[in-house]
């Protein structure tokens, strides 16, 4: 297990080098964050009036509709801009030089598929929330368990939608079938990413502590900006990693910059370490082996 964590650290370092070549990829999570905050602000401002708050509290149907609408909107924006990151990472891994325009082109062409996928994601989120509220601690435990399983099963959905251009349901079916061979491996990858970014966040935590202690708003602002930048980089690197792992699993392709042994540790198929398994066609346009 610890070697697998170490392997993911190595892969993340390589993803970082890919990001340094195409820093403009950060534009997508940045714009996504700005739009999401704007949506939250708009919802909050609209319902901040006393009569509207009372209306929400007294009208259960309205509160559910508003909650689901907000959930769908935020999830859709995040997923759509992740498509831009995936498209740019895909072009870079094929040896191209992506630009922001390439990401937006992929976002536009995948718009309907992303909308469909987000409907599925939102439905699952609502169901899990209902389960969590049913029986307090037990319901929350079951919802967390099912939520983790769902996150793992849908790991490859967006890369499949963007790169293979298949429907959301087909992508989910294919992704979940791949994960059956490697249950738990992606938890290790995500865990590793979380550890290293927690370590990177420690200086920001220290700065924020002193800023609060000294009531220095400039220092507090610097710390918050650092956390935002760190979160954007983390999100982008995880998406790049997902694309790299997708190509290894579905096309048995490893880019020259990446360590094939490390990828094997992150995705060890039941069919053997050098055979990620069967699924979509084993060849990928733009790649030569």
Looking at residue 275, what DSSP letter applies? -
Q: What is the pLDDT of residues 208-249, one digit of tens each?
A: 888 888 888 888 889 888 888 888 888 888 888 888 888 888
The mean per-residue pLDDT over the stretch 184-203 comes to 66
Residue with the bigger pLDDT between 255 and 94: it is 94
The mean per-residue pLDDT over the stretch 61-77 comes to 87
Asked if pLDDT for residue 285 goes beyond 50, the answer is no
**What is the pLDDT, as a whole number, of residue 273?**
46
**What is the pLDDT, as a whole number, of residue 238?**
86
Residue with the bigger pLDDT between 38 and 189: it is 38
Task: Report the chain's mean pLDDT, rounded to a whole number.
Answer: 80
| 131-145, 180-194, 269-283: range with highest mean pLDDT | 131-145
Among the residue ranges 3-7, 79-83, 257-261, the one predicted with the least confidence is: 3-7
Handedness of CA 10, 16, 22, 26 (dihedral sign): positive
- Quickly list DSSP for 201-216: HHHHHHHHHHHHHTT-
Asked if pLDDT for residue 35 goes beyond 60, the answer is yes
Q: By percentage, how much of the chain surpasses pLDDT 70?
A: 78
Q: Which residues contact 28 (CB under 8 A, 6 or more apart)?
A: 81, 82, 84, 85, 88, 100, 103, 236
Handedness of CA 191, 192, 193, 198 (dihedral sign): positive
**What is the pLDDT, as a whole number, of residue 74?**
93
Asked if pLDDT for residue 277 goes beyond 70, the answer is no
C-beta of residue 57 within 8 angstroms of C-beta of residue 104 = no
Query: pTM score, two decimals?
Result: 0.80
The mean per-residue pLDDT over the stretch 22-36 comes to 91
**What is the pLDDT, as a whole number, of residue 172?**
94
Asked if pLDDT for residue 100 goes beyond 80, the answer is yes
Tokens of 289: 């082996």
CA 242 to chain CA centroid, Å, is 9
Among the residue ranges 46-55, 62-71, 99-108, 252-261, the one predicted with the least confidence is: 46-55
**What is the pLDDT, as a whole number, of residue 162?**
95
**What is the pLDDT, as a whole number, of residue 230?**
86
Asked if pLDDT for residue 102 goes beyond 90, the answer is yes
Length of the chain: 289
Among the residue ranges 50-54, 122-126, 158-162, the one predicted with the least confidence is: 50-54
Domain ranges for the chain: 2-266
**What is the pLDDT, as a whole number, of residue 280?**
39
Q: How far apart are the first and last CA of the chain?
A: 30
Q: How far apart are CA 91 and CA 165, in angstroms?
A: 15
Looking at residue 59, what DSSP letter applies? -
The mean per-residue pLDDT over the stretch 159-174 comes to 93
Q: Which residues contact 6 (CB under 8 A, 6 or more apart)?
A: none
Q: How far apart are CA 86 and CA 103, in angstroms?
A: 8
**What is the pLDDT, as a whole number, of residue 38?**
92
Given pLDDT bands bounded at 50, 70 and 90, which one contains residue 104?
A: very high
Among the residue ranges 71-75, 99-103, 246-250, the one predicted with the least confidence is: 246-250
């Amino acid at each position: 297990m610890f070697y697998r964590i170490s392997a993911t650290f190595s892969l993340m370092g390589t993803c970082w080098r890919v990001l340094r070549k195409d820093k403009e990829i950060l534009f997508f999570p940045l714009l996504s964050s700005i739009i999401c905050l704007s949506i939250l602000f708009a919802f909050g401002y609209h319902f901040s009036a006393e009569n509207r708050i009372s209306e929400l509290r007294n009208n259960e149907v309205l509160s559910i509709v508003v909650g689901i609408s907000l959930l769908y909107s935020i999830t859709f924006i995040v997923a759509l801009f992740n498509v831009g990151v995936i498209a740019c990472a895909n072009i870079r891994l094929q040896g191209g030089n992506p630009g922001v325009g390439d990401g937006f082109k992929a976002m536009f062409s995948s718009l309907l598929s992303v909308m469909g996928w987000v409907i599925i994601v939102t439905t699952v989120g609502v169901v899990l929330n209902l389960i969590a509220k049913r029986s307090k601690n037990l319901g929350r435990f079951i919802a967390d368990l099912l939520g983790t399983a769902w996150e793992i099963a849908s790991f490859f959905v967006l890369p499949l939608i963007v790169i293979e251009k298949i429907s959301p349901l087909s992508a989910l079916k294919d992704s979940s079938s791949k994960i059956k061979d490697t249950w738990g491996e992606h938890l290790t990858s995500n865990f590793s990413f979380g550890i290293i970014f927690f370590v990177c966040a420690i200086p920001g935590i220290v700065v924020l502590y002193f800023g609060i202690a000294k009531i220095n708003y400039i220092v507090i602002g610097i710390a918050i900006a650092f956390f935002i930048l760190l979160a954007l980089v983390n999100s982008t690197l995880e998406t790049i990693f997902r694309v790299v792992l997708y190509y290894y699993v579905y096309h048995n392709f490893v880019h020259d910059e990446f360590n094939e042994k490390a990828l094997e540790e992150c995705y060890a198929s039941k069919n053997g370490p050098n055979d990620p398994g069967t699924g979509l066609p084993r060849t990928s346009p733009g790649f030569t082996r």
